[in-house]
Amino acid sequence: MKIGFLGLGTMGTPMANNLRKSGHTVTVWNRTPGKADPLVKKGAKPAGTPRQATSGQEVVILCVADEKAVDGVLEGPDGVLAGLDPGVVVVDCSTAGVRSAGLVEERVKARGGSFLAAPLLGSKAAAEKAQLTIVVGGSAEAREKARPALRAVSARIIEIDSAPKAALMKLVVNAVGGAMMTAFGEALAFGASGGLEIEKIIETIQASSFHSPLFLMKGEQILNKDWTPRFAVALAEKDQRLVQDAAATQGVVMPISSAVRRVFAEAIESGRGDRDMCAVTDLFFERAGLKR
């Protein structure tokens, strides 16, 4: 298929590369143009604007930071909507929230295209190995058209008949993930402040019925003080903001998510916004007066 791919960050770059490797013709665009160079060297076609990356494609995939970034690439004379041919499927792999999914769907439909919200589960390593799980929501026809592209980057596709509901599903998952990450960091600092060794704490949690692959993966990063972003604190805070927005619309109170959002926000204020979300552990250690 002819695919336009917009947003070459941590997740987008390996996804676009896997699409290319599986034989699709991929045209790439990124706000910071230099990030497209490695993919172009490997055979992807460069585009100067979102409009150019969209024009003449069968499927257009977005993988940008948040709902504002999605609006930014869609709108304007050089935007995706300006270059959209009728019948094209726009697939948003960003985590942009429920409201954005509904609004973008309307705008794409008004231009004769169809829209899928297709948020990603899994981080950088899964994206590199084409082992992501994708929650895809939208019409059956659009899902059918986009399936070859989604298969090329994922190990599992969970299908839902509505774009906003797929966006909601992703927020449900990240409400759990954010709580797990922050609770883990807080508990490590709690144990360490009473004299327990971090490695021993992680080993013991993993031997309990509360064990998790998240704690294994993040535990190793925490032990190595490796804050390289697989999933940045700023994006984790944004997800809880989107959870809170959707919860307010649905009339649901989510005190855990509120507290988690505050922790991520404080991590950003302390200068840790571009670090991996496990850097919240560092914040808890600092607050407990612990040196590592």
- The region of 26-34, 76-84, 198-206, 260-268 touching ligand NA7 under the rule CB under 6 A is 26-34
Q: How far is the CB of 185 from ligand NA7 (least distance, A)?
A: 19
Q: Is 91 in the site for ligand NA7 (CB under 6 A)?
A: no
Site residues for ligand NA7, window 30-49 (CB under 6 A)? 30-32, 35
Dihedral sign for Cα atoms in the order 260, 265, 266, 270: positive
Beta-carbon count within 10 A of 110 CB: 10
Please identify which residue in 64, 117, 130, 146 interacts with ligand NA7, judged by CB under 6 A.
64
Q: Is 18 in the site for ligand NA7 (CB under 6 A)?
A: no
Q: Is 63 in the site for ligand NA7 (CB under 6 A)?
A: yes
Closer residue to ligand NA7 (CB): 8 or 192? 8
Site residues for ligand NA7, window 203-242 (CB under 6 A)? 232, 235
Closer residue to ligand NA7 (CB): 68 or 156? 68
Size of interface with ligand NA7, in residues (CB under 6 A): 23
Beta bridge partners of 154: 132
Q: What are the two backbone dihedrals, phi and then psi, of residue 69, each rounded to the nearest 5 degrees?
A: -65, -40
- The region of 40-48, 61-69, 195-203, 216-224 touching ligand NA7 under the rule CB under 6 A is 61-69
Q: Residues 186-219, buried b or exposed e (16+ Cβ, 10 A)?
A: bbbbebbeeeeebeebbeebeeeeeeeeebeebb
**Per-residue DSSP letters for 60-125?**
EEE--SSHHHHHHHHSSTTSTGGGPPTTPEEEE-S---HHHHHHHHHHHHHTT-EEEE--EES-HH
Q: Is 133 in the site for ligand NA7 (CB under 6 A)?
A: no
Q: How far is the CB of 54 from ligand NA7 (least distance, A)?
A: 14
Closer residue to ligand NA7 (CB): 66 or 282? 66
Q: What are the two backbone dihedrals, phi and then psi, of residue 208, each rounded to the nearest 5 degrees?
A: -90, 175
> What's the residue count for the chain?
292
Q: Is 116 in the site for ligand NA7 (CB under 6 A)?
A: no
Q: Is 136 in the site for ligand NA7 (CB under 6 A)?
A: no
Q: Is 117 in the site for ligand NA7 (CB under 6 A)?
A: no
Closest residue to ligand NA7, Cβ-based? 9
Site residues for ligand NA7, window 180-199 (CB under 6 A)? none
Rounded to whole angstroms, how far apart are CA atoms 40 and 27?
9
Closer residue to ligand NA7 (CB): 69 or 279? 69
Query: Hey, is 153 helix, strand or coil?
Result: coil
Please provide the distance, in angstroms rounded to a whole number, between the alpha carbons at the two ends of the chain: 51
Rounded to whole angstroms, how far apart are CA atoms 149 and 268?
35
Rounded to whole angstroms, how far apart are CA atoms 28 and 46?
5
Rounded to whole angstroms, how far apart are CA atoms 216 and 205?
10
Q: Where on the chain is the footprint of ligand NA7 (CB under 6 A)? A: 7-12, 30-32, 35, 63-66, 68-69, 72-73, 94-95, 120, 232, 235
